[in-house]
Structure 1
Amino acid sequence: MRIVTWNVEWFTNLFDARGRLLEDEDWSSRYKVTRRQQIESIAIVLTAIDPDAVMIIEAPDNNRRRQTVPMLERFAARFDLRCRRALLGFENDTQQEIALLYDPDVLSVHHDPKGGGEGETPRFDQSYLIDLDVDGTADRVVFSKPPLEVQAETRDGKRLRLIGAHLKTKAPHGATTPEQAQRIAIANRRKQLAECIWLRSRVMEHLKAGDSLLVMGDLNDGPGLDEYEKLFGRSGVEIVLGWDEPRETRLYDPHARIAYSKKTGVTPMTARFYLDTEKRYFSALLDYIMVSPDLRALKPAWRIWHPFDDPDCYQVPELREALLMASDHFPVSIDLPI
């Protein structure tokens, strides 16, 4: 079974106000890429990967005028994709939903949010109390993009828990001085780490219940990503993984293991951004598929569909160009022998 996570940049802007696909020559929200080019590129990539399910990060916006699920299913039908059914959890107000596109012949799925009961971690659409600034007073944290919790079952009856997440540190908007920018940036970083702690708490509940768990998506965090990494001691990725905890309570992602082991100077990359100030591209490891110990024991295969770092992607010009046009993130897949 192949499961994928992919952050598709500004997928929402490829549909009009009524949810119709905009296959035209106007510019998309990607630099010098038309809407038709981005739409066709997304389809080429998904066809090449041929997943059983894909967690779409930055899925089309769900609102009163148009809905995420019909838009994704309309897209899948247009290109005859095997993943032709969509699932949405809690919507958000950022124009970037988290949704699952899946093959209904292979998986049955439903949105299954946990938490909120006595002694349980709060539901992801609720709030979480944590002392962010160590002043002895609990701060109330809410997700700007509540993670999508999926209960999935294969045709053979294997049950999986999937959590799709997009944890994002906001830029210091509104700052007028370097000091203000630093204060806002640190506060935003604290909030992101609090969201990671919240997510980790849910992970622990699933591990204690013996669930087969995959946590996937864009954590927008990684080694050396910003100057505040040393200030906080641990990254959000390490928190969600349970990096320093006993093996039986750790999640595993091989790309994170390579990046954080510091045994080599090599780090896998899942995203590529152009920095106008530097006139060059910057690469980062932002996207992960973390699995529970029982799934790790099956020896699954992970892959980053990188147009330059993956030889098979590079050697197919149509796929290479499609990966570059479709998004500033590249898909990450896991092949599970189930």
Structure 2
Amino acid sequence: MRLATYNIEWFAYLFDSQDRLLLDAAPSGHHGTDRYTQGRAIAHVLRRIDADAVMIIEAPNTGKTQRSARALEHFAAEAGLRTCEAVSGFANDTRQEISLLYDPAVLSAVHDPQAAPDAPRFDGVLPMDLDVDAQADAVRFSKPPLELAVTTRGGTALRMIGAHLKSKAPHGARTPAAATARSIANRRKQLAQAIWLHRRVAAHVAAGDHVVVMGDLNDGPGLDEYEKLFGRSSVEIVMGDLLNDPHGLALSGAQRDPLPSTSRFYNPETKRYFCALLDYVMISHSLMQYQPHWRIWHPFEDAECRDDATLHRALLDASDHFPVTLDLQLD
């Protein structure tokens, strides 16, 4: 079985108000790429990674007339993908949903939100003191994680959680002081979301469930100067001692040089590209018996992706993030 997580930059821009696919010369949400080029590139990448299920981060919008799962199924039909069914969870107002696109011949998946005594459902509110003033703040997810009950063709049950944690970037700040304050506040909120997610994982592990957490955690080693201020990254908090991901181990001291990366961004001020490790597929210890193999489909760091000119171009045209896949010897 192959599972994947893929943050597809502003996938919503490729659909009209009725979830019909737009493939034309108009700009997409991916910088410098039109909708036709991005749409074709996404289809090519999804066919090549050939996953049984893909957690789509920044999935198409759900709104008054739109449905993320319906849009993804339209896209799958147009692209000829075997992952032809989709499921979404709690909608949000960012136009960036979290949805699973999967092959119904290999597994079934249903939205199955749950709660623990110390962690409510992901569409709820978690009271937590974020600024050490002895007053509980109301922590919410701007993009509530997608919690799924998954059953494989062979009858194995999985608890799968797709997540897109809050960005630490100080969007909207107009002065250096405001940027500093917003960055620190955003990191506090992100770490609170990570604690919430870890508590949900802990409840599933305690119940004896196989757990898979996948998505964009918007965190990784050395991404900003505030990392040392808080001691731990959100990646380390989510993983704790319950989950496994070799790329996440880059944060624990067992670092590789150079570090892996799952995304590539352009900085207009320096006129340079920079890479970051943001996307993860984490699994519970119970799944380690199934010979897991992780792969980042990076157009410059993965030899096959670099040497295959069509795939290389498609990865760059599709998104500013790259897919991460996990292979398990599991039916």
Band the TM-score falls in, shorter-chain normalisation: over 0.9
Q: In the alignment, what sits opposite 1:230? A: 228
After TM superposition, the score normalised by the length of structure 1 is: 0.95
**What runs of 5+ residues in structure 2 fail to find an aligned partner?**
none
Q: In the alignment, what sits opposite 1:214? A: 212
Q: In the alignment, what sits opposite 2:149? A: 151
Whole-Å separation in 2 of the counterparts to 1:239 and 1:320: 33
Matches within 5 A, 1:268-307: 268-307=260-299
Give secondary structure in 1 for the equivalent of 2:280.
strand
Whole-Å separation in 2 of the counterparts to 1:263 and 1:76: 38
Q: In the alignment, what sits opposite 2:82? A: 82
The reply to whether residue 267 of structure 1 matches residue 259 of structure 2 is: yes
Q: In the alignment, what sits opposite 1:182? A: 180
User: Which of 318, 321, 331 is equivalent to 2:310?
Assistant: 318
* Contact 2:166–2:189 under 8 Å retained in 1: no
Whole-Å separation in 2 of the counterparts to 1:71 and 1:51: 19
Distance 1:189 1:335, change over 3 A: same
Distance 1:214 1:321, change over 3 A: same
Question: How far off its partner does 1:177 sit?
Answer: 3.0
Q: In the alignment, what sits opposite 1:67? A: 67
Coordinate RMSD, CA, aligned:
1.2
Whole-Å separation in 2 of the counterparts to 1:120 and 1:178: 37
The count of aligned residue pairs is: 330
Q: Deviations over 1:96-138 (max 9, x none)?
A: 000000000110110000106xx35200000001111111111
Matches within 5 A, 1:99-118: 99-115=99-115
After TM superposition, the score normalised by the length of structure 2 is: 0.97
Distance 1:65 1:55, change over 3 A: same
Whole-Å separation in 1 of the counterparts to 2:163 and 2:201: 12
* Contact 2:168–2:218 under 8 Å retained in 1: no
Whole-Å separation in 1 of the counterparts to 2:37 and 2:21: 12
Whole-Å separation in 1 of the counterparts to 2:52 and 2:20: 25
Give secondary structure in 1 for the equivalent of 2:229.
helix
Matches within 5 A, 1:2-81: 2-81=2-81
Question: How far off its partner does 1:34 sit?
Answer: 1.3
**What runs of 5+ residues in structure 1 fail to find an aligned partner?**
none
* Contact 2:299–2:306 under 8 Å retained in 1: yes
- The code of the aligned residue for 1:67 comes to R
Give secondary structure in 2 for the equivalent of 1:162.
strand
Whole-Å separation in 2 of the counterparts to 1:145 and 1:221: 16
After superposing on structure 2, the runs of 4+ consecutive aligned residues of structure 1 that deviate more than 4 Å are: none
